[in-house]
Amino acid sequence: MDISLQQVGYLYGKDTPFEKRALHGVEATIPSGSYTAIIGHTGSGKSTLLMHLNGLLKPSEGIVKVGDVAIHAKTKGKELREIRRHVGIVFQFPEHQLFEETVLKDIMFGPLNFGVSEEVAEKRAYELIKLLGLPEDVASKSPFDLSGGQMRRVAIAGVLAFNPSILILDEPTAGLDPRGRKEIMELFHYLHKKENLTTILVTHSMDDAARYADHVIVMHDGTSVMTGSPTEIFGNEEQLLAYRLGLPKTVKFQRDIEKLIDRSLPE
Ligand code: ADP
């Protein structure tokens, strides 16, 4: 399922004294099956944009197309809910949303509420426990007795329990140490391949974008300023490799692109 954005604009608090423009004229395509990174400064519109990709927000202007479904300012709730079945979002610190008595119940909660049978939901939950590298005996444990890394994996399993074809990751490594970051990014890379997911990574880490993505969208001041393959965005093969390997970057790169990206934040 391709996603396309055509002249998308968004205003928070539209027609109120607090009206604030967050997006304008966004043009982008996210090809089906791609691993797309959306990179940009804090405040450049990344989070607002991703909420348009699963129907949490409707554009004030323009059209967002997810497969055959077009979302615009007048789209009704029913169509938005339809999109949410196909598009899963892993928000920052997803483990904060765990609440059930056991890991198994937590992973099954969403599908059961969507009318999936107990048998099917349970089978998928055990499959995900395995897929995410969790020990099988976590199923009967309280999610709150697990380590931080395991809790995050359980929360990710809860999103995958819906069998989404598109998975959106909003700064998924926030708050993790370098080892935890690498583990979770490798896990998403594995899931991207194994589950045939279209993966959309929202990040301010250009190193992660260079390492994992095959398509990049650069956001700046509420609009898409560059889109393309990693080599197009990062300059050339050598430049891309420098990023992947953590080598010093060239002046050209800093001048052309780093000014668009906020690297001052802790990663
Ligand atoms: P990013 O995810 O790149 O940090 P956001 O999408 O969060 O960017 O923000 C884009 C712009 O919209 C910013 O100027 C931000 O202050 C503004 N904004 C974000 N959320 C709200 C909100 N709920 N109400 C008003 N303005 C908002």
Nearest partner of 40 among 231, 266, 241, 222, judged by Cα? 222
Is 58's pLDDT higher than 70?
yes
CA of 59 to the centre of ligand 1 (A): 14
**Range in 150-164, 185-199, 222-236 the model is least confident about:** 222-236
> Atom 17 (ligand 1): residue with closest C-alpha?
22
Is 267's pLDDT higher than 50?
no
Is 265's pLDDT higher than 60?
no
CB 198 within 8 A of CB 1: yes
Question: How many Å apart are CA 22 and CA 14, to the nearest integer?
Answer: 11
Is 199's pLDDT higher than 90?
yes
Question: How many Å apart are CA 185 and CA 172, to the nearest integer?
Answer: 8
- 108 CA to centre of own chain: 21
Domains in the chain, start-ordered, CATH in brackets?
34-48+92-260 (3.40.50.300)
Mean pLDDT, the chain, whole residue set = 88
Mutational test site, ligand 1, from 12, 42, 92, max ligand atoms within 8 Å of CB: 12
Question: How many Å apart are CA 156 and CA 260, to the nearest integer?
Answer: 30
Instruction: Please report, as a single letter, which amino acid is at residue 176.
Output: L
Is 66's pLDDT higher than 60?
yes
Place of tokens 């300059």: 235
Is 22's pLDDT higher than 60?
yes
* Tokens representing residue 227 in the block: 């889109």
H/E stretch holding 146 reads: none
Give me the phi and psi of 96, to 5 degrees please. -65, -15
**pLDDT, tens only, 78-90:** 888 878 888 999 9
Nearest partner of 92 among 224, 231, 267, judged by Cα? 267
ipTM: 0.98
Question: How many Å apart are CA 140 and CA 129, to the nearest integer?
Answer: 12
**pLDDT, tens only, 234-260:** 776 776 676 666 666 555 555 556 665
> Atom 11 (ligand 1): residue with closest C-alpha?
22
Backbone CA torsion sign across 53, 19, 93, 81: negative
CA of 40 to the centre of ligand 1 (A): 13
What is residue 264's predicted lDDT score, i.e. its pLDDT? 41
